[in-house]
Homo-oligomer: A and B are copies of this chain.
């Protein structure tokens, strides 16, 4: 039997549009013109998720020209006002824009009882359903799953129960080469197994290694969001090697004591986590209002972990 083309060894790479992080708010408790409270939109391939929902996030969405037609799930890290007070306004606006798809809100259980009276009052005519999905922020567990994505909670250390989030694509089947199917007369019944990594045995008994028949799938995208939190090495196993880590960096090193007291991190500490977890890229955010110029935070982080970027409101960050 003739041999088919030599095995291609190149890896299929994710491209810059496969993972995008849109920053709606990069500030902390005191909103500033250039740093609204925490909120961001994550795009993983064609899916859209919102993380936190600080006051004014709906204004940022509009400023950025971001459509929310693919937004089905909002994840709230913790119940401090600067992470969730924009929720009712956003939902009210989505209703006026005639959204009809259900909207799921994943959060600490208390959010429902705090927010539902307002939603019933201000958004009584909402044309879509709002479904609260409570989770326990103090536990590492899977809190959302669909065909291609899993979201895990990451327990953080803060003044109230707080979770970070790991968004992770599921491992995808390998790509089978069309020409191999023809060459080896592979029956349809075997294709799924080969995509899942099995070898193939021809009618003549020859075993064709999987690596000859398939190319790797694109690597799963992984994004971790960790805010608000004190320096906490116990999160390292959860964020190990992620493509992109957003970690809070509320203070510079000169405010280390204040960071400890308020259970926040310094920029340097954020970078320590990034380095120890061997992540690919770090974005720091949740800046204290005292830093008009954030260069000091960026420099302190970069001295530990070079591939660090500053979060900026209204800016979009590709994973790669």
Contact = CB atoms under 8 A, between A and B. Distances in A.
A30 interface: yes
A79 B121 contact: yes
A118 interface: yes
Number of copies: 2
A162 to B, nearest CB: 14
Contacts of A82: 89, 92
A164 interface: no
A59 B36 contact: yes
A89 B96 contact: no
Contacts of A32: 59, 62
A63 interface: yes
A114 interface: yes
B114 A79 contact: no
Interface string A258-272: 000000000000000
Interface residues of A, number: 32
Nearest to A54: B89
Interface string A107-126: 00010011001100111000
A33 B89 contact: no
Q: Helix, strand, loop or mixed for chain A's interface?
A: helix
A56 interface: yes
A309 interface: no
A137 to B, nearest CB: 15
A19 B92 CA distance: 35
B114 A118 contact: yes
Interface in A21-57: 29-33, 36, 55-56
Nearest to A79: B121
A122 B79 contact: yes
A62 B33 contact: yes
A209 interface: no
19 contacts: A29-B92, A29-B93, A29-B96, A30-B96, A31-B58, A31-B62, A32-B62, A33-B59, A33-B63, A55-B55, A56-B56, A81-B88, A81-B92, A81-B123, A85-B122, A110-B121, A113-B117, A114-B117, A118-B118
Given A29-B96, A30-B97, A81-B88, 18 more contacts: A30-B93, A31-B58, A31-B93, A32-B59, A55-B55, A55-B59, A55-B86, A55-B89, A56-B56, A80-B122, A81-B89, A81-B118, A81-B122, A82-B89, A82-B92, A114-B118, A117-B117, A118-B118
